[in-house]
Amino acid sequence: MTGAELISFEPATGAEFWRGVAGDVDAEVATARESWAEWAAKPVTYRIETLRRFANTVRARHDDFTDTIARETGKPLWEARTEVDSVVNKVDISVAAYSERTGQRRLDAPMNTRMALRHKPHGVLAVLGPYNFPAHLPNGHIVPALIAGNAVIFKPSEKTPATGAFLVRCLHEAGVPEGCVRLLLGGPEEGKALSGHPDIDGLLFTGSARTGIALNRQFAEQPEKILALEMGGNNPIVVWKTPDLKSAAVLIVQSAFTTAGQRCTAGRRLIVDKQLYEPLLGELETLIRRIIVDHPHADPQPFMGPVIDNDTADMLTESFLALSTRGGRPLLHMARPNGDLPFLTPGLIDMTEASDRPDIELFGPILQVVRTDTFEEAIVEANRTRYGLSASLISQDPKLFEQFWANIRAGIVNWNRPTNGASSAAPFGGIGWSGNHRPSALYAADYCAYPVVSNEADQARATIGVGLRDAV
Ligand code: NAD
């Protein structure tokens, strides 16, 4: 059966970048299922060695991989390079996480018996990836899943199939059996068919809350399957009692506009002490005007590239307008320098007087600002979201950070650091609509294997001490 044609375009030029054909879900699941048992039966040391070779393969192809990501997503070369670094580093982190969180252990047991804790892989896991980190994020599921002994069917975003194909090619070249990691090309239709397939044992998802909630519904009657959801955020940055407003402006720009705002951890809402509002916004606007928005390969290197495609740019432009019709006061308009391409300059809008502030993730370079009178109000405002991924406080007062940490609802709570740039060596996840309490990164090991406890003795020697009549 031949699937529909799939084409990806370079956002920065509009040129066709890659062309392929959507995959056959049944065939990919059947292949993975057939191949899984042999991979699972290999010693973990063998699987780790294979994945270390994968890290070396990616290292050797670093430049090509960087170029593919930069072209297909539009992100600047320097940033695509850091994404490839994360793909490499994920292997060592996953090896350590596997033994730390899901290794084998002896537990205390009564005399002459043993209790062992071991972990088993789930079987065949589906991985659905987003477009904004098309290599690093799916890789963050795939590597720990393979180390634990699962087979994987990976469907990259329909917007970044070439990056997905590159990643899978590196895995195969490194010696991961072709049957154990399958590339499934396609869009939401293939995603639905894969997530609903009876022969998968679970789904590891990174993407929007909208899709994640649909998947949660789809899995509602299958409690036997593992479902890990990494979803979006509507993340606050609170600025209170800080003398260095230049640094505050840098942290805000890094939070809101890195990757053209296309990060799940991007700072979306700036909540600021009304006393600091004027000077801070002055610094911020000056810095934002200096941001270079350009082609990923441009010289000088841009701070940010375009957003992923024209539809997304249109949606963001309309959303910015919609915020102003609700009473938002634009401070910096989001410009579209070339109407045919999805480049956007950062938009800044004061929503303090707005009739309502919609709690939606605007996945692009838009920062909303709210002034408050007290720090308590700032925290209430920061928590006014169904999401709960990341949050930052910029302040020199440790007491305020204590109060912020205790009251803010998020899985990542930072102090004088951006909302984004999370380390793969720590757990990564949030609450509310940001996920389903299956954090990724360091804790990915947890959802890639399940614990099996065994009570063991060398011989079947047993007596019953009470409750028996004398033997006749
Ligand atoms: P998306 O939800 O549109 O798509 C993600 C994947 O799901 C794609 O592979 C897509 O083809 C597939 N898909 C879409 N609809 C589907 C359906 N009904 N059934 C099955 N599969 C379906 O997300 P996106 O636009 O590619 O990525 C951006 C989103 O991802 C943002 O919301 C962002 O916050 C989120 N994100 C979260 C994290 C995290 O770790 N928490 C990281 C990066 C991105």
What atom of ligand 1 comes closest to residue 214's alpha carbon? 18
Residue of 8, 69, 128 best suited for mutating to test ligand 1, as the one with most atoms within 8 Å of CB: 128
- The verdict on 57 and 180 lying in the same domain is yes
Distance CA 372, CA 389 (A): 22
Residues linked to residue 455 through DSSP beta bridges, in sequence order: 115
Is 367 part of a structural domain of the chain?
yes
Residue 2's pLDDT is what?
A: 62
Q: For the chain, give the mean pLDDT.
A: 97
- The verdict on 211 and 71 lying in the same domain is yes
Residue of 206, 309, 387, 438 best suited for mutating to test ligand 1, as the one with most atoms within 8 Å of CB: 206
- The verdict on 264 and 367 lying in the same domain is yes
Ligand 1 pocket, 436 CB below 6 A?
A: no
Is 282 part of a structural domain of the chain?
yes
Is 461 part of a structural domain of the chain?
no
- The verdict on 299 and 440 lying in the same domain is no
pLDDT at 369 over 90: yes
Q: Which of 10, 79, 158, 230 is catalytic?
A: 230
Is 110 part of a structural domain of the chain?
yes
Is 294 part of a structural domain of the chain?
yes
- The verdict on 69 and 107 lying in the same domain is yes
- The verdict on 276 and 391 lying in the same domain is yes
What atom of ligand 1 comes closest to residue 210's alpha carbon? 2
List the CATH number of the domain containing 194. Answer: 3.40.605.10
pLDDT digits (tens, 9 = 90+) for 275-317: 999 999 999 999 999 999 999 999 999 999 999 999 999 999 9
Is 463 part of a structural domain of the chain?
no
- The verdict on 162 and 308 lying in the same domain is no
Is 425 part of a structural domain of the chain?
no
pLDDT digits (tens, 9 = 90+) for 213-253: 999 999 999 999 999 999 999 999 999 999 999 999 999 99
Nearest in space to 180 (alpha carbons), one of 37, 52, 57: 37
Is 462 part of a structural domain of the chain?
no
Q: Can you tell me the mean pLDDT for 375-380?
A: 98
Query: Quick one: tokens of 225?
Result: 């399957």
**Range(s) of the domain holding residue 149:** 5-231+435-456
List the CATH number of the domain containing 259. Answer: 3.40.309.10
- The verdict on 290 and 357 lying in the same domain is yes
- The verdict on 188 and 167 lying in the same domain is yes
Q: Identify whether the C-beta of residue 231 lies closer than 8 Å to the C-beta of residue 264.
A: yes
pLDDT at 43 over 70: yes
- The verdict on 30 and 53 lying in the same domain is yes
Residue found by looking up tokens 């480049």 in the block: 343
Radius of gyration from C-alpha coordinates of the chain: 25
pTM tops 0.85: yes
224 is an active site residue: no
What atom of ligand 1 comes closest to residue 129's alpha carbon? 9
- The verdict on 152 and 261 lying in the same domain is no
CA of 425 to the centre of ligand 1 (A): 23
What single DSSP character describes residue 350?
E
Strand 151-155, strand 181-183: pairing: parallel
